[in-house]
């Protein structure tokens, strides 16, 4: 249960209570847009000094910015939107946060309780609309419940498997008054997220881990969320175990570590998919094992004993039947495993067997890397730009991506060695996520370099947030990998239908656009312009870098739908 | 080892679940939503206030496989306002099995 300071009861308006609650929760930033029914709260922002309001240009942008803030800092992201369209505009962001387990709390206004259900102006039944895409949602019908509901919302969002919580605030609740008291404990009978990991279960896992000759750990998003970067690194080093990562797990293990065996899945690194196929024990930490990760499950890890640890019991044995499944917190589990490793050091015989196993993975890596060599007389490849940007970026930079081909290349070339450095929309695959998310990341980490990889399709889905970058002078650098297509759609159409339909897209003049938004603009048209990337990276404010690349380059490796990950295609048919 | 999740032609049978949920706004809709999303058709549904006014009792009968039932119970247990789930035995409806949250 959370503790908070006792405060003497005072009578105040709902809007003031709202502000007090944010203060109690230590909310630094709230992202949103004002509107009719939510004005009593905005009137309080005028005088408020503890919470800074960030005015975005679209409510979807506000939710993604809060997600970026939450994913990069581990704190709860907070959003405020008005009723009706303001509220419905948050739905995509909520669904995105629900899939990727991001702790955010979204407050929406609504018409007065007496008018609910009467089709009033800008009314939307947002609680019903978002029931399927939130961890939990509330409508406050009595001002006496306001403070306790806000407390519960923050508690639910960040405990157990984190997720989005929506709180709907009718206008009369904000203007009526009540005694303010924030000292209650959270009392949710049916919600017990604090699970003690069972020592005996972990001992079983450890036994299997020590016996295996070719063990492999799959680092999922749960490793990142539970801040287990250090624990996983030590466990891997002590027991000589290689690590592969899911898309959401990138940032959970140092990428240049000699035990890091890449990112696995439909467009994963070839050596990573092969490692999963060849291992004799797969320890899955905090992953839902989505279809994009496993491909056909029968061909995923046919020779391995499967151990799955996740805080969410629903993820266990859902897509992949495991031999041992343990519901538990990843951090706790890893700490117990570390204790056991200290007491039972690995035998020399096993050490050398595992070194051979790591060599086998590295050989596959060297084979896989051969496909990355670019011929210099061809046009500029998208992956070449991404690789170059990685090379030039600060070692501690945050990498944020939109969704599509560029996202997969960004994951394949990921090279950062600090936690929480790869911020992307995994489960929902929301185009338009990257630019606004980067704003939240930059606010949470004002001194760090923030890099966005975007496609020409994705960037145009929330491009209005360039104005927000300018308003708050957030020096994010947006690299548009511009191939003139909805690239991933084009790639699939090419393979499955052999013709393109509605995937060729128009782009505005990005230099003129960056001028219009008052930010830096750069153009990279060919290999000879690559030096401009460095110049752009050192630009003092936000900047848009339009990189024109080969139009019809595909992402490889590529596991065709329904196939096992071993059956990946390594290059286009000639 | 690996088994595919695709539901093979395993026989479905009638199962009855008895749920105790907190009497909170939207709690019933959340439970019912769990069934509709996954395409389980409810054969019979009875909702009553229990003797304790804060609690609601739901009795739901549906046709499903054992695996589907197992998943459903896990998902229902994960709902914030679901407090207890009992499986009613088909051959002897007065007999109940209490399920508990995993972990």
Residues A155-192 have pLDDT tens digits of 999 999 999 999 999 999 999 999 998 866 888 888 98
Looking at the structure, tell me whether residues A243 and A176 fall in a common domain.
Answer: no
Q: Tell me, what DSSP letter sits at residue A37?
A: G
Residue A137 near chain B (CB below 8 Å): yes
Looking at the structure, tell me whether residues A412 and A508 fall in a common domain.
Answer: yes
Q: What mean pLDDT, rounded, does chain A reach?
A: 94
Query: Residue A297 is nearest to which of B4, B80, B82, comparing CB atoms?
Result: B4
User: What three-state secondary structure class fits A409?
Assistant: helix
Q: What ipTM does this complex have?
A: 0.82
Find the Cα–Cα–Cα–Cα dihedral A163, A20, A75, A146, rounded to 10°. Answer: -10
Looking at the structure, tell me whether residues A89 and A169 fall in a common domain.
Answer: yes
Contact A190 B25 (CB under 8 A): no
pLDDT confidence of B7, banded at 50, 70, 90? Answer: very low
How many domains in chain A?
Answer: 3
Cα–Cα dist A275/A268, whole Å: 11
A20: enclosing H helix or E strand: helix A14-24
Best to test chain B binding among A139, A189, A298, A328 (most B CBs inside 10 Å):
A189
- Taking the CA of residue A207 as centre, how many other CA atoms within 13 Å lie in the half-sphere pointing to its CB? 7
To the nearest whole angstrom, how far is the Cα of B24 from the nearest Cα of chain A? 10
| Structural domain contains residue A408 | yes
In order of their start, the domains of chain B are 18-100 (3.30.70.260)
Nearest CA in chain A to B103: A327
| Structural domain contains residue A287 | yes
| Structural domain contains residue A497 | yes
| Structural domain contains residue A491 | yes
pLDDT reported for residue A71: 98
Residue B71 near chain A (CB below 8 Å): yes
Residues A287-320 have pLDDT tens digits of 999 999 999 999 999 999 999 999 999 999 889 9
In order of A179, A457, A513, A551, the CA distances from A480 in angstroms are 52, 9, 13, 13
- The residue with greater pLDDT, A59 or A573, is A59
The CATH code of the domain that includes A246 is 3.40.50.1220
Looking at the structure, tell me whether residues A321 and A387 fall in a common domain.
Answer: no
Read off the pTM.
0.94
Q: Which domain holds residue A71?
A: 10-180
Residue A141 near chain B (CB below 8 Å): yes
Query: Residue A313 is nearest to which of B30, B33, B74, comparing CB atoms?
Result: B74
Looking at the structure, tell me whether residues A302 and A381 fall in a common domain.
Answer: no
pLDDT of A334 above 90 = yes
pLDDT confidence of A374, banded at 50, 70, 90? Answer: confident
> What is the C-alpha R_g of chain B?
14
Burial class (CB in 10 A: 0-12, 13-18, 19+), A192: exposed
Looking at the structure, tell me whether residues A257 and A309 fall in a common domain.
Answer: yes
pLDDT reported for residue A561: 84
Looking at the structure, tell me whether residues A79 and A110 fall in a common domain.
Answer: yes
Looking at the structure, tell me whether residues A366 and A385 fall in a common domain.
Answer: no
Q: Tell me, what DSSP letter sits at residue B47?
A: E
| Structural domain contains residue A267 | yes
Residues A231-279 have pLDDT tens digits of 999 999 999 999 999 999 999 999 999 999 999 999 999 999 999 999 9
pLDDT of B23 above 60 = yes
Residues A392-425 have pLDDT tens digits of 999 999 999 999 999 999 999 999 999 999 999 9
Residues A259-270 have pLDDT tens digits of 999 999 999 999
Burial pattern A350-386, b for ≥16 Cβ within 10 A else e, equals beebbeebbebbeebbeebeeeeeeeeeeebbbbbbb
| Structural domain contains residue A503 | yes
Residues A351-361 have pLDDT tens digits of 999 999 999 99
Looking at the structure, tell me whether residues A431 and A488 fall in a common domain.
Answer: yes
Residue A302 near chain B (CB below 8 Å): yes
| Structural domain contains residue A560 | no
DSSP string of B14-42? EEEEEEEEE--TTHHHHHHHHHHHTTPPE
Q: Lowest mean pLDDT: which of A23-37, A456-470, B4-18?
A: B4-18
| Structural domain contains residue A5 | no
Looking at the structure, tell me whether residues A27 and A54 fall in a common domain.
Answer: yes
Looking at the structure, tell me whether residues A205 and A298 fall in a common domain.
Answer: yes
Looking at the structure, tell me whether residues A158 and A296 fall in a common domain.
Answer: no
């Amino acid at each position: 249960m959370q503790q908070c300071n006792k405060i003497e009861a005072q009578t105040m308006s709902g809007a003031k209570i709202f502000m007090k609650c944010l203060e109690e929760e230590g909310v630094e930033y709230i992202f949103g847009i004002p509107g009719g029914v939510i004005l009593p709260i905005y009137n309080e922002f005028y005088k408020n000094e503890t919470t800074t309001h960030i005015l975005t240009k679209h409510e979807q942008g506000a939710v993604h910015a809060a997600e970026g803030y939450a994913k990069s800092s581990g704190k709860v992201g907070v959003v405020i939107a008005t009723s009706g369209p303001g509220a419905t505009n948050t739905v995509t962001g909520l669904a995105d946060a629900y899939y990727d387990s991001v702790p955010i709390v979204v407050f929406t206004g609504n018409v007065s309780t007496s008018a609910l259900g009467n089709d009033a102006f800008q009314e939307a039944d947002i609680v019903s609309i978002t029931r399927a895409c939130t961890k939990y949602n509330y409508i406050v019908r009595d001002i006496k419940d306001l403070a306790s509901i806000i407390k519960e919302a923050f508690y639910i969002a960040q405990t157990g498997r984190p997720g989005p919580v929506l709180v709907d605030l009718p206008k009369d609740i904000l203007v009526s008054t009540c005694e303010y008291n924030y000292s209650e404990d959270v009392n949710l009978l049916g919600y017990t997220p604090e699970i003690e990991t069972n020592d005996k279960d972990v001992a079983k896992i450890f036994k299997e881990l020590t016996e295996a000759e070719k063990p492999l750990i799959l680092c999922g998003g749960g490793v990142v969320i539970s801040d287990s970067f250090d624990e996983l690194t030590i466990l891997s080093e002590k027991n000589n175990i290689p690590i592969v990562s899911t898309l959401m797990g990138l940032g959970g293990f140092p990428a240049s570590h000699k035990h890091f065996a890449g990112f696995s899945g439909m467009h994963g690194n070839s050596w990573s998919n092969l490692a999963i196929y060849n291992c004799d024990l797969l320890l899955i930490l905090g992953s839902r094992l989505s279809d994009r990760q496993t491909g056909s499950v029968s061909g995923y890890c046919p020779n391995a004993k499967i151990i799955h640890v996740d805080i969410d019991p629903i993820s266990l044995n859902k897509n992949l039947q495991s031999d041992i499944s343990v519901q538990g917190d990843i951090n706790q589990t890893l700490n117990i495993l570390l204790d056991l490793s200290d007491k039972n050091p690995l035998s020399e015989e096993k050490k050398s067997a595992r070194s051979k196993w790591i060599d086998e993975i590295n050989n596959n890596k060297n084979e896989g890397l051969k496909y990355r060599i670019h011929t210099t007389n061809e046009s500029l490849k998208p992956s070449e730009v991404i690789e170059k940007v990685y090379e030039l970026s600060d070692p501690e930079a945050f990498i944020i991506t939109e969704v599509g081909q560029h996202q997969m290349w960004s994951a394949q070339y990921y090279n950062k060695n600090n936690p929480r450095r790869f911020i992307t929309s995994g489960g929902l695959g929301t185009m338009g996520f990257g630019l606004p998310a980067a704003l939240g990341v930059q606010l949470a980490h004002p001194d760090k370099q923030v890099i966005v990889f975007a496609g020409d399709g994705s960037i145009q889905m929330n491009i209005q947030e360039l104005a927000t970058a300018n308003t708050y002078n957030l020096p994010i650098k947006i690299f548009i990998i511009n191939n003139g297509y909805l690239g991933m759609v084009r790639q699939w159409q090419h393979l499955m239908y052999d013709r393109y339909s509605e995937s060729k897209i128009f782009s505005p003049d990005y230099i003129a656009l960056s001028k219009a938004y008052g930010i830096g603009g750069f153009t990279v048209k060919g290999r000879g312009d690559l030096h401009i990337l460095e110049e752009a990276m050192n630009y003092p404010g936000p900047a848009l870098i339009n990189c024109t690349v080969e139009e019809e380059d595909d992402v490889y490796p590529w596991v065709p739908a329904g196939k096992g990950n071993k059956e990946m295609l390594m290059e286009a048919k000639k | 080892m690996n088994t595919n999740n695709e539901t093979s032609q395993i026989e479905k049978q009638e199962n009855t679940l008895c749920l105790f949920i907190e009497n909170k706004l939207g709690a019933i809709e959340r439970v019912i939503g769990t069934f509709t999303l996954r395409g389980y058709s409810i054969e019979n549904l009875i909702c009553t206030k229990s003797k304790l006014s804060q609690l609601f009792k739901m009795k739901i009968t549906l046709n499903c496989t054992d695996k589907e039932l197992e998943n459903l119970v896990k998902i229902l247990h994960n709902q914030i306002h679901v407090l207890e789930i009992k499986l009613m035995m088909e051959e002897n409806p007065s007999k109940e099995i209490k399920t508990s949250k995993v972990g």
